[in-house]
Amino acid sequence: MKSIVSVSSSRLPFLLLPHLKVGRHWRKLAIAACLAALSAPAAAVSNVVISQVYGGGGNSGATYRNDFIELFNRSAAPVSIHGWSLQYSSASGASWQVTTLPSLTLQPGQYLLLQQASGSGGTTSLPTPDAVDGIFMSSTAGKIILANTVTPVSDVRAASVLDLVGFGATANAFEGSGPAPAPSNTMAVVRAGNGCADTDNNGGDFAVAAPAPRNSSSPFVVCSGVTPPGVQTIPQIQGSGASSPFVGTRQTTEGVVTHKVSNGFYLQDAGGDGNPATSDGIFVFTGAAPTVTVGDKIRLTANVAEFNAGNPERTVTQLSGVSGLTVLASGQAITPLNLTLPLAHADHFERYEGMLVRFAAALTVSQNYFQGRYGQVTLSAGRLEKPTNRYRAGTPEVIAATAANAANMIVLDDNRSSQNPNPIPYIGADNTLRAGDTVSNLTGVVDFGLITNNNPGPTAYKLQPTVTPAFMRVNQRTSAPALAAGDIRVASFNVLNFFTTFGDGKTADGQSGQGCREGAVVSAAKCRGADNLQEFLRQRAKIVSAMAAINADVFGLMEIQNNGDVAATNLVEALNAVVGQGTYAVVPMPPVAGATGEDAIRVAMIYKPAKLRLVGEALADTDPVNNRPPMAQAFSSWNGKRFSVIVNHLKSKSSCPAPGSADADRGDGQGCWNTTRVTQARRLISALIPRVQAAAKDPDVLVIGDLNAYGAEEPVNALTAAGLVNQIERFVRPSALPYSYVFDGEAGYLDHALTTASLSAQVVGLTEWHINTDEPSVIDYNTEFKPQDLYSATPYRSSDHDPVVISLDLENKGAYMRDKSFATSSASTFNRATQTTTGK
Q: Domain 488-808: which topology?
A: Deoxyribonuclease I; Chain A (3.60.10)
pLDDT for res 67: 97
At 155 the pLDDT is 87
Strands (E), 708-762: 725-726, 741-743, 746-748, 751-755
Count other C-beta atoms under 10 Å from residue 480's C-beta.
Answer: 14
- Give residue limits of the domains in the chain: 14-209, 234-333, 346-472, 488-808
Per the CB < 8 A criterion, the answer to whether 277 and 351 are in contact is yes
Helix (H, G, I), strand (E, B) or coil at 282: strand
Contact 424, 432 (CB under 8 A): no
State residue 454's pLDDT score.
77
Residue 309: which of 425, 501, 450, 431 has the closest Cα? Answer: 450
- ∠ CA 835-837-839 to the nearest 5 degrees? 160
In terms of Cβ atoms closer than 10 Å to its own Cβ (0-12, 13-18, 19+), residue 658 is: exposed
* Distance in angstroms (rounded) separating the CA atoms of residues 63 and 56: 9
Beta-bridge partner residues of 472: 438
Spans of the chain, pLDDT less than 50: 1-45, 813-819, 823-840
Q: What letter does residue 399 receive in the DSSP assignment?
A: H
The neighbouring-strand residues paired with 828 are 839
Find out whether 203 and 169 touch, Cβ atoms under 8 Å: no
Residue 760 pLDDT? 98
- At residue 137, the 3 state secondary structure works out as coil
Q: What is the 3-state secondary structure (H, E, C) of 167-202?
A: ECCCCCECCCCCCECCCCCCCEEEECHHHCCCCCCH
Given strand 97-100, what is the order of strands in its sheet? 97-100, 85-89, 142-147, 161-167
Residue type, 586: V
> Could you tell me the end-to-end alpha-carbon distance of the chain, in angstroms, rounded to an integer?
121
CA distance 255 to 257: 7
Q: Quick one: DSSP state of residue 778?
A: G
pLDDT of residue 314: 81
| Residues 139/125, Cβ–Cβ less than 8 Å | no
Output the CATH code of domain 14-209.
Answer: 2.60.40.1260
Residue closest to 673 by CA, chosen among 692, 653, 689, 690: 653
Residues 481, 152: Cα–Cα separation, whole Å: 93
> Residue 834 corresponds to which amino acid?
T
Residue 46 confidence (pLDDT):
62
CATH superfamily of 234-333: Nucleic acid-binding proteins (2.40.50.140)
CB 578 within 8 A of CB 542: no
Cβ(319)–Cβ(283) below 8 Å = yes
Whole-angstrom distance, CA of residue 525 vs CA of residue 534: 18
Residue 250's beta-bridge partner residues?
303
The pLDDT tens digits for 69-101 are 999 999 888 899 999 999 999 999 999 999 999
Quote the pLDDT of residue 381: 98
Residues 575/584, Cβ–Cβ less than 8 Å: yes
Q: How far apart are CA 669 and CA 393, in angstroms?
A: 7
pTM of the model: 0.76
Dmax (CA) for the chain in angstroms is: 135
- Which run of H or E residues covers position 584? none
Q: pLDDT value at position 30?
A: 36
Beta partners for residue 743, in sequence order = 746
Cα–Cα–Cα angle for 379, 382, 384, rounded to 5 degrees: 80
| Cα dihedral 315, 321, 323, 329 in deg (nearest 10) | 40
CA distance 817 to 108: 86
